[in-house]
Amino acid sequence: AIIKRITKEIESTSGLSFTVNNRLTKPDKLITSTLNFYQSLKRYRKTNQGGYPNRIDVLNIDVSEDNEHRAYLIMDTIIKLLRVRHHDVIVRYRDTFAVIQGEEIKIRIREKQNFLDTRETLGKAFNLNSGELIFVIGDYNKKEFRDGAEKLENKISSIVAYLEYQGNIKKDERIKWEIRRKEEERQEQIRREFKERQDKEVKEFKNLFLQAIRLHQANILRTYIQTVDSNMIKNGKLTEDYTRWKAWAEIKISWYDPLINGADPLLSNYHKTNIFKELLKEWQ
């Protein structure tokens, strides 16, 4: 129903030509480049001289020589009609695409092949050109417009309508895909930001925990020095070496205490972080 509506809308548009002429009149540039290539190819194969012609902007038309002219006329009419409808046709490598709503749809014209099995007499099998032309739209889920009761020449508006229909479908699918992709990216950004916040929180908590451990350990060391000092005074063992050791120990405790973070000429923050881990390994 949608395709029929588009077909009627196209056919009712003034100034559009659906007539396939008997001769090429001001052919589209892609028709011209295709003709030039195959003419050059025929000369090359006939004379076997010069270089193989460059295949540039050659339409995907696979028909016998007897049907080349007719295929060019049909393709030229369709291309011109698409351009008037503000669409485009492009060639990439060996493929031809109608560009509808910015979406690329593969198109080509081929000729139906009839299989002739003569192996019983000649030992060979042949594919014979049937003269029946087929306009193919798409690649995997392809749609074919064939010669039949009506020739392809009478199906031009239906072909263009189907291309526009497919272009609209592909555009809608692309928009939906873009919406899904952006939503997935947004969700991924949310997950990434949450993970970053989580990692930062864990890092800060670890640091808090380490600071608390360091303070606790610094206080243990102070208690130890106070106990040793009391014992030295009690036993009358306050020597010069002990006094130097006590001063050294107090400097190290001030350096290790997270509330003081005193300076030390030899040890760095790396040692503050790892010295307890190294002790744990030694104790194990």
pLDDT digits (tens, 9 = 90+) for 119-137: 555 555 555 767 899 999 9
Angstrom CA distances, 182 to 175, 177, 185, 194, 244, stand at 10, 8, 5, 18, 68
Q: What pLDDT does 196 receive? A: 97
Q: What pLDDT does 34 receive? A: 96
Assess contact for 88 and 99: CB atoms under 8 A: yes
Q: Which two tokens stand for residue 135?
A: 């306009």
Q: What pLDDT does 123 receive? A: 55
CB atoms within 10 A of CB 93: 8
CB atoms within 10 A of CB 56: 10
Q: Is 152 exposed, middle or buried (0-12, 13-18, 19+ CB in 10 A)?
A: buried
CB atoms within 10 A of CB 57: 17
Assess contact for 151 and 19: CB atoms under 8 A: no
Assess contact for 38 and 68: CB atoms under 8 A: yes
C-alpha 166/C-alpha 100 separation (Å) is 8
Assess contact for 145 and 3: CB atoms under 8 A: no
C-alpha 282/C-alpha 153 separation (Å) is 91
Q: What pLDDT does 272 receive? A: 84
Q: What pLDDT does 43 receive? A: 87
Can you tell me which residue has the tokens 């009609």? 81
Q: Is 114 exposed, middle or buried (0-12, 13-18, 19+ CB in 10 A)?
A: exposed
Q: What pLDDT does 48 receive? A: 78
Low-confidence ranges of the chain (pLDDT < 70): 115-127, 129
Q: What pLDDT does 168 receive? A: 94
**CA 98-103-105 angle, 5° bins:** 40
Can you tell me which residue has the tokens 């060391």? 221
Q: What pLDDT does 238 receive? A: 87
Q: What pLDDT does 119 receive? A: 55
Long-range contacts of 48-53, Cβ-Cβ distance < 8 Å, separation of 24 or more: none
Q: What pLDDT does 130 receive? A: 76
Q: What is the pTM assigned to this prediction?
A: 0.70
